[in-house]
């Protein structure tokens, strides 16, 4: 069909020709001249996107009704819809924008357009608007109250911006409104009572803001509601009883508020309910049995509340075929896991962690053919782990009393990728069928009673491993040389076993290694300087083994953050340039490691549970990722001068050189380690004075200079004055200790230290490295205290940084 060049014609002729065409043939959209001009000017309000090969505002065709995103009314030719979704406008909507001359606009969709600045109140001039979608931009400022002029609005989505201020009271005037989506902004204040007027509302999403006050009682009057999402605000008080009247709801999310109330006794009235998430509040009372009578349920999250009592899924014959995610974690449930769990035929993820469940895993769990992720950690479960569970991909059973597992069922494929059996009572040798598990990536068997040798056949499956944690068992024999294909391995922790022999050379192939800990075994050999070529090695712990020989080949180790070589038999001197290549100790740069950045982002979602578990050492989890740097070579036979090059390790928090045979002066340059918190130079042959400059180390909170040949005045500084007296004992001529040791207790420098005092003074040091590193293996593997990072649907559910707030309907 030929399109006339309306460009030069007057509005009248366009209208006339349009009329002709509507009579003669299918409608031809002809752009009205004022509308075209308004659109052309609107285009010019934004820069041309140089990166876009076809930028929207460069296209010139004569008929604006054919421009991308523009829809005209068939009859009048007026522009009635503008949809520029996901166009990079990269600018702001001006108060006098020509957009507001498109007076016939009904739909305005500028989602994902990189809009900045405020929403101009002139938006209220487009009085015919029924739909406004400005979501997923960078809009700031308040929601203009002029929006209440738009009496025909049925759909408003301003979600995923940075809007602040309160929700305008006048929004209650929009009595045609079906959708009100303001989620993922920074809105404050209470939910305005005027919303009680919006009797046609279907969808109310205010989650991820800073709203305070209560869930308003009027909400029970909005009986058309299908979606209520108020999660991640600061709402408190109880949920109004009238909520139970909202029987059309299919999506309820109240997660992460401060709500405390019981749930309605009978929830079966929510007969369309699919998504129910009240996680991370203070809900009380017994297990909401009635919820599990609703066949449409897909997601149930009750985690992190104060529900009590036993659980029971009502043993009716009806199954809940849609339930995919069930999380009862972090409550106070107790008693057995009921066999009726098998009603949820298509359950994909089950989390019962951090409760007091007892008894065994019910056999009926084998009927859950789609179960994929299971977390039963931190309960009091016992007995045998059913063989049917080997077809799951992720299983976390840590901190229970399980004692054995069945063989995989030969008729079923073994799909396990992540297996955490930490802190149970598993015993005996590791069965050889473990070597046949094809996809295993994360294996934590620590704190059990496993013994026997580590099977060399693991070399078959090691190719997929990211984490192998066998800490604190009784494995014996050699650490087998199985790592030549372990290029994904990030953490290897075999600490506290009875392993012998040398460190396997094949570790050199593990280019992804972040952590190696072989602490407290009987491993021997020279310092494994060859590990220095591993580009990402962050943590190396060789503590308490039989390593020997000099430490002079410490080149490489560019990413090293924590090294603990203590309590071995290393000897010789430290070379002047010994530490010059350890760049990981001279900078704190997380951005180099996108993987770590991921984990850090993720961990912010878990701050609560981390603090819960770490207890006394609350900061250590974050420290190991971010700033903890430590060198411990105590308890060896190193002699000679403390090399000046140590002061290159500017980020060092902990330095322990105690229990060696260092001689000569303490280098003044140690004072360049301005972040040092812990310094132990005790039990050496150091002489001369304690450098006065060390008094300026303002973070230094623990130090120990005892058992040396030091003399002269102890530095005067707050840090020194707050040390215990024993930190200076047994030196040949230290003075100025009156304030530290008390007038009456001035040290006799020749007195012998009590053995228990020595042990006591060593303790804070050891705790620090152990605490910081204990969470290391998991951290480096993506296990964040009980929750395994990969596979979980949970992350998909709430972990997205900006919740996508879109809707299919209008």
Ligand X SMILES: *[C@@H]1O[C@H](CO)[C@@H](O)[C@H](O)[C@H]1NC(C)=O
Binding part of the chain for ligand X, among 94-102, 366-374, 407-415, 515-523 by CB under 6 A, reads: 94-102
Q: Is 312 exposed, middle or buried (0-12, 13-18, 19+ CB in 10 A)?
A: middle
Should residue 145 be labelled a site residue for ligand X when binding is judged by CB under 6 A?
no
Should residue 476 be labelled a site residue for ligand X when binding is judged by CB under 6 A?
no
Got the DSSP string for 315-364?
--S---TT--EEE--SSEEEEEPPGGGGG-TT--EEE--SSEEEE---GG
Residue 526 or residue 806: which is nearer to ligand X going by CB?
Answer: 806
Binding part of the chain for ligand X, among 542-550, 569-577, 602-610, 744-752 by CB under 6 A, reads: 602-610
CB atoms within 10 A of CB 719: 20
Question: Binding to ligand X (CB under 6 A): which residues in 480-539?
Answer: 484-485
Residue 108 or residue 542: which is nearer to ligand X going by CB?
Answer: 108
Should residue 71 be labelled a site residue for ligand X when binding is judged by CB under 6 A?
no
Of 339, 329, 253, 334, the closest CA to residue 298 belongs to 253
Should residue 256 be labelled a site residue for ligand X when binding is judged by CB under 6 A?
yes
Q: In this structure, are strands 394-396 and 522-526 parallel, antiparallel, or unpaired?
A: unpaired
Site size toward ligand X, by CB under 6 A: 53
Should residue 90 be labelled a site residue for ligand X when binding is judged by CB under 6 A?
yes
Residue 88 or residue 620: which is nearer to ligand X going by CB?
Answer: 88
CB atoms within 10 A of CB 472: 21
Should residue 438 be labelled a site residue for ligand X when binding is judged by CB under 6 A?
no
Task: Provide the angle, in degrees to the nearest 10, between the axes of the packed helices 33-44 and 11-24.
Answer: 110
- Residue 553 CA to residue 534 CA, distance in Å, equals 14
Q: Which one of residues 27, 165, 237, 688 is an interface residue with ligand X (CB under 6 A)?
A: 237
Instruction: Provide the CA 21 distance to its chain's centre, in angstroms.
Output: 60
CB 495 within 8 A of CB 523: no
Q: Which one of residues 644, 665, 693, 757 is an interface residue with ligand X (CB under 6 A)?
A: 644
Should residue 315 be labelled a site residue for ligand X when binding is judged by CB under 6 A?
no
Angle at 740 between CA 734 and CA 741, to 5 degrees: 85
Should residue 672 be labelled a site residue for ligand X when binding is judged by CB under 6 A?
yes
Should residue 284 be labelled a site residue for ligand X when binding is judged by CB under 6 A?
no
Should residue 194 be labelled a site residue for ligand X when binding is judged by CB under 6 A?
yes
* Residue 551 structure tokens: 């430490």
| Shortest Å distance, C-beta 166 to ligand X | 13
| Shortest Å distance, C-beta 806 to ligand X | 5
Binding part of the chain for ligand X, among 96-104, 183-191, 362-370, 490-498 by CB under 6 A, reads: 96-104
CB 570 within 8 A of CB 637: yes
Angle at 399 between CA 393 and CA 401, to 5 degrees: 100
Residue 389 or residue 468: which is nearer to ligand X going by CB?
Answer: 468
| Shortest Å distance, C-beta 213 to ligand X | 7
* Residue 802 structure tokens: 């900006």
Should residue 133 be labelled a site residue for ligand X when binding is judged by CB under 6 A?
yes
Q: Which one of residues 17, 62, 145, 245 is an interface residue with ligand X (CB under 6 A)?
A: 245
Should residue 283 be labelled a site residue for ligand X when binding is judged by CB under 6 A?
no
| Shortest Å distance, C-beta 548 to ligand X | 29
Of 508, 657, 525, the closest CA to residue 579 belongs to 657
* Residue 341 structure tokens: 């769990």
Q: 336-364 b/e with 16+ CB inside 10 Å = b?
A: ebbebbbbbeebbbbbbbbbebbeebbee
Should residue 466 be labelled a site residue for ligand X when binding is judged by CB under 6 A?
no
Of 134, 132, 124, 123, the closest CA to residue 159 belongs to 134
Residue 113 or residue 371: which is nearer to ligand X going by CB?
Answer: 113
Q: Which one of residues 15, 602, 605, 735 is an interface residue with ligand X (CB under 6 A)?
A: 605
Residue 332 or residue 498: which is nearer to ligand X going by CB?
Answer: 332
- Please name the helix (run of DSSP H) or strand (run of DSSP E) that holds residue 452, with its range, or none: strand 449-453
Binding part of the chain for ligand X, among 83-91, 319-327, 687-695, 710-718 by CB under 6 A, reads: 83-91
DSSP state of 774: H
Should residue 218 be labelled a site residue for ligand X when binding is judged by CB under 6 A?
yes
Residue 584 or residue 643: which is nearer to ligand X going by CB?
Answer: 643
CB 112 within 8 A of CB 137: yes
Contact string (CB under 6 A) for ligand X, positions 687-726, x = contact: ----------------------------------------
Q: Which one of residues 196, 455, 456, 504 is an interface residue with ligand X (CB under 6 A)?
A: 196
Residue 125 or residue 360: which is nearer to ligand X going by CB?
Answer: 125
Binding part of the chain for ligand X, among 239-247, 320-328, 626-634, 658-666 by CB under 6 A, reads: 239-247
Should residue 586 be labelled a site residue for ligand X when binding is judged by CB under 6 A?
no
Should residue 575 be labelled a site residue for ligand X when binding is judged by CB under 6 A?
no
Of 459, 472, 508, 511, the closest CA to residue 490 belongs to 511
CB 24 within 8 A of CB 2: no
| Shortest Å distance, C-beta 484 to ligand X | 5
Report the DSSP beta bridge partners of residue 697: none
Which residue bears the tokens 């759909």?
155
Should residue 669 be labelled a site residue for ligand X when binding is judged by CB under 6 A?
yes
| Shortest Å distance, C-beta 70 to ligand X | 14
| Shortest Å distance, C-beta 135 to ligand X | 8
* Cβ contacts of 550 within 8 Å, gap of 6 or more: 526, 527, 570, 571, 572, 573
Question: Binding to ligand X (CB under 6 A): which residues in 324-383?
Answer: 332, 355-356
Q: Which one of residues 197, 446, 620, 731 is an interface residue with ligand X (CB under 6 A)?
A: 197
Of 631, 614, 630, the closest CA to residue 622 belongs to 614
Binding part of the chain for ligand X, among 167-175, 466-474, 512-520, 753-761 by CB under 6 A, reads: 167-175
Should residue 674 be labelled a site residue for ligand X when binding is judged by CB under 6 A?
no
| Shortest Å distance, C-beta 24 to ligand X | 33
* Residue 231 structure tokens: 């999660």
Q: Which one of residues 10, 60, 76, 96 is an interface residue with ligand X (CB under 6 A)?
A: 96
CB atoms within 10 A of CB 222: 22
- Residue 652 CA to residue 632 CA, distance in Å, equals 11
- Residue 478 CA to residue 179 CA, distance in Å, equals 65
Question: Could you write out the three-class secondary structure of 238-280?
Answer: CCCHHHHHCCCCCEEECCCCEECCECCCCCCCCCCCCEEECCC
| Shortest Å distance, C-beta 459 to ligand X | 4
69 dihedral zone (left: phi>0; alpha: psi -120 to 50; beta): left
| Shortest Å distance, C-beta 232 to ligand X | 6
Should residue 236 be labelled a site residue for ligand X when binding is judged by CB under 6 A?
yes
Should residue 173 be labelled a site residue for ligand X when binding is judged by CB under 6 A?
yes
Should residue 242 be labelled a site residue for ligand X when binding is judged by CB under 6 A?
yes
User: CA dist 306 to 261, 309, 378, Å?
Assistant: 10, 10, 16
Binding part of the chain for ligand X, among 92-100, 583-591, 652-660, 740-748 by CB under 6 A, reads: 92-100
| Shortest Å distance, C-beta 588 to ligand X | 18
- Residue 230 CA to residue 251 CA, distance in Å, equals 11
Residues that bind ligand X (CB under 6 A): 47, 49, 83, 85, 88, 90, 94, 96, 98, 100, 109, 111, 114, 122, 125, 131, 133, 155, 157, 169, 172-173, 194, 196-197, 217-218, 220-221, 232, 236-237, 241-242, 245, 256-257, 280, 332, 355-356, 459, 484-485, 605-606, 608, 644, 647, 669, 672, 806, 810
């Amino acid at each position: 069909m030929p399109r006339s060049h309306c460009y030069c014609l007057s509005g009248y002729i366009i209208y006339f020709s349009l009329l002709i065409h509507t009579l003669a043939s299918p409608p031809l959209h002809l752009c009205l001249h004022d509308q075209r001009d308004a659109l052309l000017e609107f285009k010019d309000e934004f820069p041309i996107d140089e990166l876009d090969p076809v930028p929207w505002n460069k296209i010139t065709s004569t008929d604006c009704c054919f421009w991308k995103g523009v829809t005209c009314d068939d009859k009048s030719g007026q522009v009635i819809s503008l949809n520029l979704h996901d166009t990079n406008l990269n600018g702001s909507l001006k108060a006098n924008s020509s957009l507001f001359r498109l007076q016939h606009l009904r739909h305005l969709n500028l989602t994902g357009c990189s809009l900045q600045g405020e929403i101009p109140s002139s938006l209220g001039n487009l009085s015919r608007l029924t739909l406004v979608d400005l979501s997923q931009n960078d809009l700031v400022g308040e929601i203009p109250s002029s929006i209440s002029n738009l009496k025909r609005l049925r759909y408003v989505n301003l979600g995923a911006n940075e809007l602040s201020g309160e929700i305008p009271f006048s929004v209650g005037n929009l009595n045609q409104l079906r959708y009100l989506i303001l989620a993922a902004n920074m809105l404050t204040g209470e939910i305005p009572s005027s919303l009680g007027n919006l009797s046609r509302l279907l969808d109310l999403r205010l989650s991820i803001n800073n709203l305070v006050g209560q869930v308003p009682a009027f909400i029970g009057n909005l009986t058309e509601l299908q979606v209520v999402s108020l999660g991640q605000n600061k709402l408190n008080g109880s949920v109004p009883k009238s909520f139970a009247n909202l029987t059309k709801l299919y999506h309820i999310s109240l997660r992460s508020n401060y709500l405390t109330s019981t749930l309605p006794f009978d929830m079966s009235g929510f007969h369309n309910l699919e998504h129910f998430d009240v996680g991370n509040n203070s809900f009380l009372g017994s297990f909401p049995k009635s919820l599990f009578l609703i066949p449409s349920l897909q997601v149930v999250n009750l985690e992190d509340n104060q529900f009590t009592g036993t659980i029971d899924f009502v043993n009716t014959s009806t199954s809940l075929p849609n339930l995919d995610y069930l999380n009862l974690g972090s409550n106070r449930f107790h008693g057995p896991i009921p066999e009726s769990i098998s009603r949820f035929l298509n359950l994909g993820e089950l989390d019962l962690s951090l409760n007091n469940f007892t008894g065994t895993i019910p056999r009926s769990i084998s009927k859950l053919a789609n179960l994929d992720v299971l977390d039963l950690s931190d309960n009091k479960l016992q007995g045998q782990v059913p063989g049917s569970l080997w077809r799951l991909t992720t299983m976390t059973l840590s901190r229970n009393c399980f004692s054995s597992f069945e063989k995989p069922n030969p008729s079923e494929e073994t799909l396990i990728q992540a297996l955490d059996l930490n802190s149970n009572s598993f015993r005996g040798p590791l069965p050889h069928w473990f070597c046949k598990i094809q996809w295993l990536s994360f294996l934590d068997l620590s704190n059990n009673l496993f013994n026997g040798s580590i099977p060399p056949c693991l070399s078959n499956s090691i190719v997929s491993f990211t984490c192998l944690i066998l800490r604190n068992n009784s494995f014996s024999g050699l650490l087998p040389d199985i790592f030549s294909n372990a290029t994904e391995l990030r953490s290897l922790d075999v600490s506290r076993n009875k392993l012998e022999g040398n460190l396997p050379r094949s570790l050199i192939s593990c280019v992804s290694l972040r952590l190696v800990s072989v602490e407290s075994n009987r491993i021997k050999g020279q310092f494994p300087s060859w590990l220095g070529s591993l580009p990402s090695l962050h943590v190396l712990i060789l503590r308490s083994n039989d390593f020997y020989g000099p430490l002079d080949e410490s080149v490489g180790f560019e990413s090293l953050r924590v090294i603990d070589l203590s309590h071995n038999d290393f000897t010789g001197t430290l070379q002047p340039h010994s530490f010059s290549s350890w760049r990981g100790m001279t900078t704190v740069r997380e951005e180099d490691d996108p993987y770590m950045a991921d984990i850090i982002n993720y961990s912010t979602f878990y701050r609560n549970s981390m603090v819960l578990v770490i207890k006394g050492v609350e900061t250590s989890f974050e420290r190991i990722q971010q700033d903890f740097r430590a060198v411990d070579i105590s308890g060896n036979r190193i002699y000679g001068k403390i090399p000046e090059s140590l002061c290159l390790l500017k980020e060092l928090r902990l330095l322990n050189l105690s229990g060696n045979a260092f001689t000569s002066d303490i280098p003044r340059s140690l004072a360049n380690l301005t972040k040092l918190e812990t310094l132990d130079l005790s039990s050496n042959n150091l002489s001369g004075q304690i450098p006065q400059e060390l008094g300026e180390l303002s973070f230094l909170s623990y130090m120990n200079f005892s058992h040396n040949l030091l003399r002269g005045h102890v530095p005067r500084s707050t840090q020194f004055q707050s040390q215990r007296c024993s930190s200076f004992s047994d030196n040949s001529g230290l003075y100025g200790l009156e304030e530290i040791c008390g007038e009456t207790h001035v040290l006799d420098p020749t007195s012998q230290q009590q053995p228990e005092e020595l042990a006591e003074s060593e303790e804070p040091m050891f705790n620090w490295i152990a605490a910081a590193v204990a969470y290391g293996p998991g951290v480096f593997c993506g296990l964040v205290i009980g929750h395994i990072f990969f596979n979980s649907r949970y992350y998909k559910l709430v972990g997205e940084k900006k919740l996508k707030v879109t809707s299919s309907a209008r």
